[in-house]
Amino acid sequence: MAAALASIVACGTRVPSPDPPAGRMAGGPVTVDIDQGPLIGKMTEGGVRAFLGVPYAAPPVGDLRWRPPAAAPRWTQPRDARQVGPACPQADVPSYARADEDCLSLNVWSPASGSPNKPILFWIPGGGFVEGSGGYQLYDGARLAAREDAVVVTINYRIGPLGFMAHPALARELGRPASPSFGFLDQRAALQWVKRNARVFGGDPANVTIFGQSAGAFSVCAHLAMPGSRGLFARAIMQSGACADPLYFSRRQAEAQGQKLAEAVGCRDMACLRAKDVQTILGALPLKRRYLLPPGVNWGPVVDGVELPTLPLRALRDGRAAKVPLLIGWNRDEGILHTAFYPSVSDADRDDFVRSAFGEAAVAPVRARYAGVDPKQALNTIVTEGAFACEARRAARAQASHGNPTYLYEFTRPLASPRFHALGATHNVELWFVFGTEEAGIALAPSELPLSHAMMDAWGRFARSGDPNGAGLVWPRYDGARDELAVLDTTPGAGTANPRGACDFWDQFERDVEP
């Protein structure tokens, strides 16, 4: 959402991107040998080595479009790894970035000194499965790596129809009952790359924490449920994501949407689809307005029955998910960013979202619950509670019920920047605190650094031990009976995981994917 953030803070006008932070400025070259060949990286001002734009799979172009990621290229001469690679194709990118279909790369930051067996923080960026990149400035990992003496990895993966389209012809071609989510297979290929090369960067291949926000958090939960990802990570962090939601598609739903795309571009087979240019594919089916309102479509994970055997929440509840510690939470004002793009919201808009997200049976009860409330404000709250807070609580309950250490949080601190403060503690805001960076001309104020450091340290402790507790931060382990969480603000505290009894209401309308 980096491009969207730039639009919002300028009230609809693109903000000139700031110069890259110091961690991105050219420094002295450093070299390592990975399994593909030698790399030339750079040293940042914080004493952190940066290796950027490293390919972890072959370019997914031509005949490799809509196929599982192929083996990464090899080289014999030193490869320059001092610039991030292009983002995967999407409708819009920040002015400092570019997009290209040859996009399967990752970035590594590792302190030059410190422990020889560092925990690895593996970042999966968000963006509604239609935008985003691990190379955006907001995700520069130098500060987090330096403070936590950790290896930080950020990745790109295929998004939109290139990463999540399903089609019966494609399933037949692959010899599978249904098309997999290629974006998830990309993420797994990047995890396998980390496993092979971790020690080169001083990392412990047995201590990888996958963490992500929004679609990245959805991805984390999917990997918890994917048998093929088992053993590639030891802990998981989900920031503002869900394990059950309309963004998950059944095979039938996904294939119907894939066929609709093929018809829109005049294709009947995969050869025709692979011959189409990227912009034709991206523009074939317009997206829903900011992921919420019709007309348009969303793209998301396919419950294909093989790679993703079942809805992740069901796997967590049944004890079939990875038995690893989980840290999960949401932001107090999640919905505001999603609705800020709408000049107004009608009662019909609110009802359309509720119908799409929670089913027809929810429309009348939700209408009654928010009677007399401005529809836009009602939609803000519905998104925050129904789509984020209560989804996180369900996932925490499911994972904790099998004895897995689980820690739940609510983030409540708005950014101090006057250009963003009015949006409250909305979707994305915690990213500034976790990474300590800047984006769209917004950086943390000095008064916000203590909370940023506390969150970095909590994430780092969790990556080392599976427990975020430490000096100045008491974080109760989640238990469904007590229903407690940590409230992350200037002065962290404790709170309830059922704000205003909202989850007792929203749990009535939990939905599974269709068979």
Give the SS3 label for residue 119. strand
User: 509 and 361 in contact (C-beta within 8 Å)?
Assistant: yes
Contact (Cβ atoms closer than 8 angstroms) between residue 246 and residue 298: yes
Nearest Cα to 181, choosing from 159, 211, 204, 196? 159
Under DSSP, is residue 392 helix (H, G, I), strand (E, B) or coil?
A: helix
Name the active-site residue from 105, 427, 439, 448: 427
Q: Which residues, at least 6 apart from 154, have a Cβ–Cβ distance to it below 8 Å?
A: 106, 107, 123, 125, 134, 135, 139, 141
421 as an active site residue: the answer is no
- Where do the H-state alpha helices sit in 307-346? 312-318, 334-339
Encoded tokens for 477: 């382990």
Structure-block tokens of residue 373: 């409330």
Cα–Cα nearest to 141, from 22, 23, 3, 42 = 23
Half-sphere exposure of 214 (CA within 13 A, CB side): 23
SS3 assignment for 430-463: HHHHHHCCCECCECCCHHHHHHHHHHHHHHHHHH
Helix (H, G, I), strand (E, B) or coil at 321: coil
Indicate the SS3 state at residue 293: strand
In angstroms, the Cα distances linking 169 to 174, 268, 305 are 9, 9, 17
Question: Chain centroid to CA 90: how far?
Answer: 15
Cis before residue 295, ω within 30 degrees of 0? yes
- Let me know: does 214 contact 126? Beta carbons within 8 Å: yes
What does the radius of gyration of the chain's CA atoms come to, in whole angstroms?
A: 21
Catalytic residue among 181, 214, 229, 452: 214
Task: For tokens 């099998």, name the residue.
Answer: 402
Relative to beta strand 37-43, strand 79-80 is parallel
> Could you confirm whether 181 is annotated as catalytic?
no
* Rounded-to-integer distance, Cα 28 and Cα 30, Å: 7
What's the rounded Cα separation, in Å, for the pair 309 and 223? Answer: 11
Among 131, 334, 385, 439, the one annotated catalytic: 334
Tell me the one-letter amino acid at 24. Answer: R
Q: Which residues are part of the catalytic machinery?
A: 214, 334, 427
